[in-house]
Structure 1
Amino acid sequence: MSISVALSNALSGLTASSRMASIVSTNVANALTEGYGRRELAISPRVVTGGGVGIDGVIRHVDASLVAERRDASSEHAGADTLATYRQQIESLLGTPEDGHSLSAVITRFESALVAASSRPDLPERLTGVLTAAGDVAGAFGAISDRIQGLREEADAEIDATVNRVNELLAQVVDLNGAVTDQRNRGGDVSGLLDHRQKVVDELSGIVPVREVPRGHGSIALFTPGGAILVDGTAADLDFTRTNVITPHLTADAGLLSGLTLNGRELDTTSGGPLDGGRLSALFAIRDDLSVAMQSDIDAAARDMIERFQQSGLDATRATGDPGLFTDNGLAFDPGDELGIAARIAINALVDPDQGGATWRLRDGLGAAAAGAPGDASLLQAMQTVLAERRTPGSGSFGTGALDAAGIASSLLSLAGTQRQLAEQTLSFAATRHGEVEERFLADGVDTDQEMQRLILIEQAYGANAKVVQTIDEMMNMLLRI
């Protein structure tokens, strides 16, 4: 071997060792960087030129099946977390019996106020106490209904923001596909671009579940497990129109709320649809399914409260068809107009001094023209009876069992608690799976101990090649001195 060939071989070894050391340093520095794939320098012997090593490029190591599993787990976890948070909000909204503002608590106070007024019907302050407690019951129904619609509005706003983010991410994937292809055609290192694209798709997978399919020249296509095409050459366009104010009557089933379109075509956003799984489908479930069902139950409870005090025979002074103590915005309740009644339930103006009424009508009857005997507690006692009467609710998901008014409120809270527990169990399972997959993903990434061992070997190789160069230099100097 000639001196020139030996020098060339040693210099190629120095160059390769230097590049390898740089890559190892980059691996260690990015060990915890999201989306980073471990790099390794691809080298091969230079046979044609007489020896040494040639640099063939940079290899990015990623387990595609593990990445796909991680994305599935991320999608499942994001959806479960969104639903569990919602269930917690609903349970907190209904409150517990110990919570002074809960529905159960205000109904209990109303019942206590009736008992107190029955014992001394002649005391105006006792009658005022009944009015106040009844107003609290109506107010509690209204507050719960308003908050349910508020949660729907929040979900609608989040859907709008999320859809916009999905469109941004899909556009980024298309741009990165093009950049990867261009860089690869020029013979450059595309590892950084692949890291970025993986991170973008990872974020997308928390919103909607995705399947990545390789295409030519380093580009990828994205599909949902339900068959929706998100990226395949070009990015799909998702469209959604936000509704700023949502009322109980505004539902997707009635066609009064925006759905989701993909390239102009309506998408099924219900369970089992093309986008099922992930945060976006959970938000649609909150807006169009879960909150609508919750509104239906709170409406059923409000209806039951109104009908208890509107039934015939309770108040002989009230004409047939007239509203009772609780009204539908001042009118008698119509069972055909139940939707949203929890937001409309109100106290009859005839017993409210602020609306021109008088509290003595709570004792003497809503239709009484003048105050009666102050010691007559028969109507107040009858109100206690209808409040404690066990009856089967006319609607809602309370089953066929007979319940008193307080029992209906307790049933609502019990249902909310059960649903919250189930949602948290689902979240716990999803979190466990996500954590386990994440651990395997990190273990498959950069092993800093292994990288440091590799760096020691690289330093040894660098030193050996440097020694060859030094020896050649000494030999050349000796020859020049002859």
Structure 2
Amino acid sequence: MSITAGLSSALSGLNAAARAAEIVSSNIANAMTEGYGRRELQLGARTIGGSGQGVSITGVTRHGDPILLADRRLAQAGSGDRDTTASFLNRVEKALGTVDDATSLGSRISDFDTALIEASSRPESEARLSKVLDVAKALANHLAAAGTDIQLARSDADDQIENQVTQVNTALARIEDLNGKIRATAGSGRDNSALIDQRQQAIDSIAAIIPLREVPRDKGEVALFTTGGAVILDGLRAQFGFTPVGVVVAGMTQTSGALSGLTLNGKAISTAAQDGPISGGTLAAQFAIRDDFAPQAQAKLDATARDLIERFAASGLDSTRAPGAAGLFTDSGAAFNAAQEIGLAQRIRVNTAADPSQGGALWRLRDGLGSAAAGASGNSQLLKDLQTALTTPRIPASGGFMAGARSFATLAADLVSGTASARVSAENEASFSAARLDTLGTMERAQGVDTDQEMQSLLVIEQAYAANAKVISTIGDMMQKLLEM
């Protein structure tokens, strides 16, 4: 081998070692970076004129398992879906109150029952009549507050839909741009691993929102499809459309046009939680909360409020009331109309005829809501009848409750226990999904950067660098000796 050939080989070795050290350093520095793929330098023999002239860098390989990555993304979407659902059900349960809560719906009913019993034992006591009024108001306010919170949850879901649609559109624009840059670098022979990392991070940012599959295309590009079959990126990106409403109230639906649906490239698509183009992620879960779960919870709450109103408006309960007049509990002060049940829980009020703060009189709780003047202070019959009305088994007229007559306390308990059962089931599913996501994430990280292995590689690179440096130093000494001759 000539001196020139030896020097050329050693210099190529130094360049390869320096590049390899740079890649190993990048691997170690990004060992915990999400979306980073481990790099490995690819080397080959360099020949000039048929003779070996050292080593050449043929490229940089970015390692990754596309199947594991796809499974992790689907698990990410599933976990986001179930976490969102469980969070909503937990919110509804808190609004109703748990059995150990002193201000729960069940406690309010128990307080009302106790107040009626105490007042019937001392019907002349204004303090006890005042207690009946106070706990009746507290019960009505509790139902109204729970209904309001359910509608706030729908408004929050509407806001989240807007935010997530914006996030998806922004990410798709970023992925489309990165696809173009990766395609441009693919033909030039330059390392595009960093661009692929950025693209994976952008795809991961929407993986929990919409479950998707990544399909490779020519020159390093990728196409994205939802698991429901919608094309959201294939050359050009798709554009999702959504119009938020700001405030959602009971009765507003997507079917009526009061709430916005979702469009893809200007065409309406299904937002159904099951078997829809976007089903399985947090976006579909937010639509399910706004359009299905919250309205169902509202319907059961309205049915509970209806049952309470109708119990105290039954004919024969209070002979002083005019036919069709409101009972102790009203629909915003008026008698209940079955055709206007939606949103009833937010409108339930105690009859102003018994409320001194609104021009009524406490004695009407004892003598009848239609009484023009106070009657005998010792008459407790109406108070007893009111307490009986509260506890008498009755079949709910709406709400989809299980068949069978029950007291109002039992009906409310069914409402709370049904919500709690759904919440526990959702949390169990969320725990399973989180465990699956964690397992797949651990497997993905295990196939990533191993810092021990990288440090071992670095030692080998240092030895190669030192060997090539020694060759160059020896050639330098040889050339110096030749010049001295």
TM-score calculated relative to the size of structure 2: 0.98
The corresponding residue for 2:358 is 355
- 1:390-430, Cα deviation, whole Å (9 max, x unpaired): 11111113200221111111111111110111011101110
Displacement after TM superposition at 1:469 (Å) = 1.2
The corresponding residue for 1:279 is 282
**In structure 2, C-alpha distance between the alignment counterparts of 1:115 and 1:96, rounded to whole Å:** 24
Displacement after TM superposition at 1:218 (Å) = 1.3
Q: Does 1:310 align with 2:313?
A: yes
**In structure 2, C-alpha distance between the alignment counterparts of 1:179 and 1:341, rounded to whole Å:** 57
- 1:214-251, Cα deviation, whole Å (9 max, x unpaired): 11121111110111111111111111111111111112
**In structure 2, C-alpha distance between the alignment counterparts of 1:123 and 1:475, rounded to whole Å:** 118
Residue correspondence of structure 1 range 44-443 to structure 2 within 5 A: 44-49=44-49, 50-51=51-52, 52-271=54-273, 272-443=275-446
The corresponding residue for 1:5 is 5
**In structure 1, C-alpha distance between the alignment counterparts of 2:34 and 2:100, rounded to whole Å:** 46
Consecutive unaligned residues in structure 2, runs of 5 or more: none
Q: How high is the sequence identity, in percent, across the aligned residues?
A: 50
- 1:255-307, Cα deviation, whole Å (9 max, x unpaired): 32100000111111112100001111111111111101000000000000000
SS at match of 1:310: coil
SS at match of 2:62: strand
Displacement after TM superposition at 1:181 (Å) = 1.3
Displacement after TM superposition at 1:476 (Å) = 1.2
Report how many residues are paired: 482
305-314 vs 388-397, which moves further: 388-397
**In structure 1, C-alpha distance between the alignment counterparts of 2:302 and 2:175, rounded to whole Å:** 46
Displacement after TM superposition at 1:70 (Å) = 1.1
**In structure 1, C-alpha distance between the alignment counterparts of 2:345 and 2:468, rounded to whole Å:** 84
SS at match of 2:197: helix
RMSD of equivalent CA atoms: 1.1
**In structure 2, C-alpha distance between the alignment counterparts of 1:445 and 1:243, rounded to whole Å:** 44
Displacement after TM superposition at 1:187 (Å) = 2.4
Displacement after TM superposition at 1:48 (Å) = 3.4
**In structure 1, C-alpha distance between the alignment counterparts of 2:381 and 2:126, rounded to whole Å:** 16
**In structure 2, C-alpha distance between the alignment counterparts of 1:42 and 1:210, rounded to whole Å:** 32
SS at match of 2:42: strand
**In structure 2, C-alpha distance between the alignment counterparts of 1:251 and 1:232, rounded to whole Å:** 33
What letter is aligned with 1:276?
S
**In structure 2, C-alpha distance between the alignment counterparts of 1:304 and 1:218, rounded to whole Å:** 63
**In structure 1, C-alpha distance between the alignment counterparts of 2:383 and 2:150, rounded to whole Å:** 33
Displacement after TM superposition at 1:163 (Å) = 0.6
**In structure 2, C-alpha distance between the alignment counterparts of 1:419 and 1:338, rounded to whole Å:** 24
- 1:310-350, Cα deviation, whole Å (9 max, x unpaired): 11110111121111111111111112211111011111111
**In structure 1, C-alpha distance between the alignment counterparts of 2:441 and 2:371, rounded to whole Å:** 72
- 1:104-126, Cα deviation, whole Å (9 max, x unpaired): 11111111110111000011111
395-404 vs 431-440, which moves further: 395-404
Q: Does 1:16 align with 2:19?
A: no
What letter is aligned with 1:15?
N
185-194 vs 118-127, which moves further: 185-194
**In structure 1, C-alpha distance between the alignment counterparts of 2:359 and 2:35, rounded to whole Å:** 69
Displacement after TM superposition at 1:361 (Å) = 0.8
Q: Does 1:30 align with 2:33?
A: no
Displacement after TM superposition at 1:94 (Å) = 0.9
What letter is aligned with 1:110?
F
**In structure 1, C-alpha distance between the alignment counterparts of 2:71 and 2:157, rounded to whole Å:** 28
What letter is aligned with 1:331?
A
Displacement after TM superposition at 1:479 (Å) = 1.3
TM-score calculated relative to the size of structure 1: 0.98
SS at match of 1:255: coil
Consecutive unaligned residues in structure 1, runs of 5 or more: none
Displacement after TM superposition at 1:100 (Å) = 2.8
SS at match of 2:312: helix
